[in-house]
Amino acid sequence: EAGVTQFPSHSVIEKGQTVTLRCDPISGHDNLYWYRRVMGKEIKFLLHFVKESKQDESGMPNNRFLAERTGGTYSTLKVQPAELEDSGVYFCASSYGQKGKSPLHFGNGTRLTVT
Amino acid sequence: GQQLNQSPQSMFIQEGEDVSMNCTSSSIFNTWLWYKQDPGEGPVLLIALYKAGELTSNGRLTAQFGITRKDSFLNISASIPSDVGIYFCAGILTGGGNKLTFGTGTQLKVEL
């Protein structure tokens, strides 16, 4: 079974530019999550999709961040325009069930550096 | 937002030693999880705890869900070089679905 795949693995952009991150969850997983770890700090929740619907987007920092999951398969997270504080590692995770006992499978993350 | 205080922040130990780390919170969690992250990879689930007082082992790893539901610890016995990495605790609040609140991580380094 293929794991959660994220692309790109690294991205270096200048402040003000746009970046789009992609996540392919494990096939059949309805739940898809985005998390972010800023240098040295905890991994923080951004949002949760159930199929194509946003279940919880309470962790999205501001309106420069836009997440989509058209068709309920892969998801994209766009940052526009990027700011310096957006630098960090963005993780995607997916799970099968709707309750807490369905483990999250994480991708390897996209390391975003905004200069 | 909710906060998990994880300690220690980093540890540098000798191979063969036992390791202990813990997480505490002012909030009550109904699930505690421990993850390990290797360089360049995402967090991988080590142990999941679902009941207060639960003590669970996975090989050389043992974790417990605190009775108060506000804390958890992870022990690693007889550490080996491949134990190197960042360990994160994570909790799920009651009614939180699968939304994880993570600790700040413990960086473990093992000296041969």
For residue range B46-103, list pLDDT tens digits in order.
999 999 999 999 999 999 999 999 999 999 999 999 999 999 999 998 777 778 999 9
DSSP letter for each residue of chain B: ----EEE-SEEEEETT--EEEEEE-SS-EEEEEEEEE-TTS--EEEEEE-STT-EEEETTEEEEE-TTSSEEEEEE-S--GGG-EEEEEEEEETT-TT--EE---EEEEEE-
Q: Is the pLDDT of residue A100 over 60?
A: no
Q: Is the pLDDT of residue A92 over 80?
A: yes
DSSP letter for each residue of B60-90: TEEEEE-TTSSEEEEEE-S--GGG-EEEEEE
CB contact under 8 A, B97 and A45: no
Question: How many CB pairs lie under 8 A apart between chains A and B?
Answer: 65
Q: Please give the Cα distance from A37 to A16 (Å, whole number).
A: 21
Q: Which residue of A has its CA nearest to B30?
A: A100
Q: Which residue of B has its CA nearest to A4?
A: B42
**In the structure, what pLDDT confidence band is assigned to residue A98 with cuts at 50, 70 and 90?**
low
Give the pLDDT confidence score for residue B99 in this predicted structure: 86
Give the pLDDT confidence score for residue A96 in this predicted structure: 87
Reported as a single tens digit per residue, the pLDDT across A18-48 is: 999 999 999 999 999 999 999 878 899 999 9
Bridge partners (DSSP) of residue A111 are: A10, A89
Reported as a single tens digit per residue, the pLDDT across A44-59 is: 999 999 999 999 999 9
Mean pLDDT across A74-87: 97
Q: Is the pLDDT of residue A111 over 90?
A: yes
A53 in reach of chain B (CB within 8 A)? no
**In the structure, what pLDDT confidence band is assigned to residue A101 with cuts at 50, 70 and 90?**
low
Give the pLDDT confidence score for residue A102 in this predicted structure: 77
Mean pLDDT across A87-115: 89
The closest alpha carbon to A6, from A33, A28, A42, belongs to A33
Residues on chain B bordering chain A, Cβ-to-Cβ distance under 8 angstroms: 4, 6, 30-31, 35, 40-45, 48, 50, 88, 90, 92, 96-105
Mean pLDDT across B21-26: 95
Which residue among B6, B48, B99 sits closest to A45, beta carbon to beta carbon?
B99
A98 in reach of chain B (CB within 8 A)? yes
